[in-house]
Amino acid sequence: MKARLTRSAVGAALLCLAVGAQASSHREAPFITTVPKVDATDFYMFNSYETGRAGYVTLIANYQPLQDGYGGPNYFSMDPNALYEIHVDNVGDAKEHLTFQFRFKNTLSNSGAGTSLSVGGKMVGIPLIQSGAVASVKDANLQVNESYTLTVVRGDRRSGTAQAVTHATSGATTFDKPVDNIGKKTIADYASYAAKHVYPITIPGCSTPAKVFVGQRQDPFAVNLGTIFDLVNAPVSVITDPSLINAAPNTLDDKNVSTLALEVHKDCLKSATDDVIGGWTTASLRQGRLLDPKPGSGHQASEKAGGAWVQVSRLGMPLVNEVVIGLKDKDKFNSSKPKDDGQFADYVTNPTLPALLEIALALPNTAPTNFPRNDLVTTFLTGIKGVNQQKTVTASEMLRLNTAIAAVPFAQQNRLGIVGNILAAGNDNAGYPNGRRPKDDVVDISLVAVMGGLCVANGDTDKLGFGAACKPSVVPLGATTFKLHDAVDQAVVPLLSGFPYLNTPIPGTK
């Protein structure tokens, strides 16, 4: 009994820290906490499972963490001085070969003069971003209208060939973003209002129409933040009992995020010779910022930005910068590119998290012993052979998706992705770490990987191609790793059945 509880305690602690790490995608590095508008929270890439959308791939990049629906009066517009990007490597050399760039603009109504009311014979500007109920695109009652452009770059993100993405019907090069969900009185039917901002688009060089949506969504990630950050203040008896998988409340249940969503046919993303693509999202700011000590009237009139773009946020697979990369290198990782990930290799081959927990809990000899951890290299840096490994393999951190593996309908998706598929002897290989779907419980899946669960699944015959050093015997927790969970169930988070898949945001009033 003592040995069983010891292993459970270690596994639970690792699990909870992994959960905290996932949530830390919301504030994962020192510098990014100072510029939340360019803080990437999660990145999703999966074969679309909406009815009638076979052959399409959905890419979702979420930014601006921990938004409260009542966070007015300015709410959560995107940064017009930032460059938000989604990158795709369809060659396998850890370089972007296709980049989608989003740039934003905030415009005051009445040609920049804003909205005014007659008060005592004088026209005076109102303090809110709305003057009445809002129901349509560019609604007359909005004082601030947010729009964006979308550009596709083939080749290097800065020196490649850039072309404007256009509205498939009108040919327009500018798209409108819905205002955030202020509340029921301002926007009576937010779902219908937001749906008017889903646009059919034409991507140069792509013969199949695509879709784009940019706007506020309910945060799709599930985690128990307070418990984790309070020194893993969680009852072991709960989080080691699979029957209590949904015992704890999701502390992000009432939070929103800002979503950049694309749905693109796989033939526009992959190469002619490889069905597997790699993807990640970044945000960049100008190298220089000048603040006006005496700003004039206007929207965000106090700042001028210039100089070269500097990448300050990077996110592909969840967990990596949070609990794999050392604290001293977190900002460095956020500014780096996948092609240079060799500099971070030791963090993956010799991870510190298991050793750190052994020290903290005074419970030695409970972590996997297969060094270098080729199971983690495969999971995070190369992809699994025969599943989501590109034909040309360059070890690098990104989300990898096999576009040839058919999507699985939402109701039939295994919340543990490939790990769950192995346990259930099922046919769902369309989930994490083969891409990432909103339903995939990446916390539990990543925990299994960190604690060596994939070595257990690998078996003595090396069926997953991890190498001879990755066997069940190197995993002290053994099959117990498959029973661990964070007591918060990702699979019950409310989601939509089709694009953009993430749920309508929480309103400021109910």
Mean of pLDDT values over 9-33: 54
Q: How many Å apart are CA 461 and CA 477, to the nearest integer?
A: 20
Structure tokens at 456: 């257990």
Span 213-242, pLDDT tens digits: 999 999 999 876 655 555 445 555 666 677
Mean of pLDDT values over 194-216: 98
Q: How many Å apart are CA 128 and CA 142, to the nearest integer?
A: 9
Work out the mean pLDDT of the chain and round it to a whole number: 88
Span 283-326, pLDDT tens digits: 999 999 999 888 888 877 788 899 999 999 999 998 788 778 99
Span 487-501, pLDDT tens digits: 788 889 999 999 999
Q: Which of 38-42, 232-236, 445-449 has the lowest mean pLDDT?
A: 232-236
For residue 436, the tally of other CB atoms under 10 A from its CB is 25
Mean of pLDDT values over 162-177: 98
Q: Do residues 361 and 17 make contact, with C-beta atoms less than 8 angstroms apart? A: no
| pLDDT value at 330 more than 70 | yes
Strand partners, 108: 144
Quote the pLDDT of residue 229. 52
Dihedrals phi, psi of 34, to nearest 5 degrees: -85, -10
Predicted TM-score (pTM) of this structure:
0.93
- How far lies 202's CA from each of 62, 105, 138, in Å? 23, 21, 22
Structure tokens at 422: 């192995």
| pLDDT value at 57 more than 70 | yes
| pLDDT value at 141 more than 50 | yes
Q: Band the pLDDT of 190: cuts 50, 70, 90.
A: very high
Q: How many Å apart are CA 252 and CA 218, to the nearest integer?
A: 9
C-alpha torsion 427→433→438→444, nearest 10:
90
